[in-house]
Amino acid sequence: MLRTLLVLAVLLGVWGSDSAGAAGFVTPPVDIIIDAGHGGIDGGSSHGDLLEKHINLQVAKELYRQLSKFGYRVILNRTGDYALSDENKWLRNPSRHLRDLAQRKHLAVELPPQMLISLHMNWSSQASRRGSIVLYQKNNQSYMLASILQHSLNQFNKTSTAPIKGSSYYLLKHDICPTVIVEMGYISNAGDRTRLTSPEGQSQLAQVVCGAVNEYFLLTGRLNAPKPPKESWFKQWKRWWRKG
């Protein structure tokens, strides 16, 4: 099975015997996958010594924490500074970049969630450009999610940006689940950079995204946002695994 899934199994305490399947565990339902963009050899965009990959991961961890508090079943596909291309042993392609993207998509196939949110930082040669941009797939669910996110992020940034159809982006070409790419801000802009490298700013942005996720689920049939479960995510995974 995927090394990503094995790491998740160990972290969540659901590693089991061979009777539980080829990988030794059974995966429970997943609501949201958070895709922390880049990692390892792939630093993403940069400003001086500051690399996008670190900001993406820091915000992803905070978003994971906040969504989990609401009771969402969340998977974070990268928990440290490593490249997902290193975990891709199944795609025979010399392109590290393609193997990385394919691995991110493959995790969504293995754990089909109700949505996938990919976190990134933008860059521009114009230092004045700032704010968040949400890119969406060519389907109504992704567009709805992107519109809600963009509206909330516009209020947060005091901007008036419209979401953009990201037809050329690898992660937006599949139909596994509603997927969006959130360009959280411009690493090339001093204001965005200061906000998104501070714990307070990262927490605020995660709150905005979390609120938009709640609104999306309410509008698509979940009348009430989930409440924190009585048992922990760790215990839920152990219980589901034992049933497998």
pLDDT tens-digit readout, 60-95: 999 999 999 999 999 998 899 976 655 655 456 565
CATH superfamily of 27-235: Zn-dependent exopeptidases (3.40.630.40)
pLDDT tens-digit readout, 32-57: 999 998 988 889 999 999 999 999 99
pLDDT tens-digit readout, 219-230: 987 534 455 555
Helix, coil or strand: residue 229? coil
DSSP designation for 163: P
Euclidean distance between CA atoms 228 and 74, whole angstroms:
13
Give pTM, 2 decimals: 0.80
In this model, does residue 161 exceed pLDDT 70?
A: yes
- pLDDT at residue 63 in the model: 98
Euclidean distance between CA atoms 10 and 24, whole angstroms:
11
Q: Where are the domains of the chain?
A: 27-235
Q: Give just the sign of the alpha carbon dihedral 203, 43, 81, 178.
A: positive
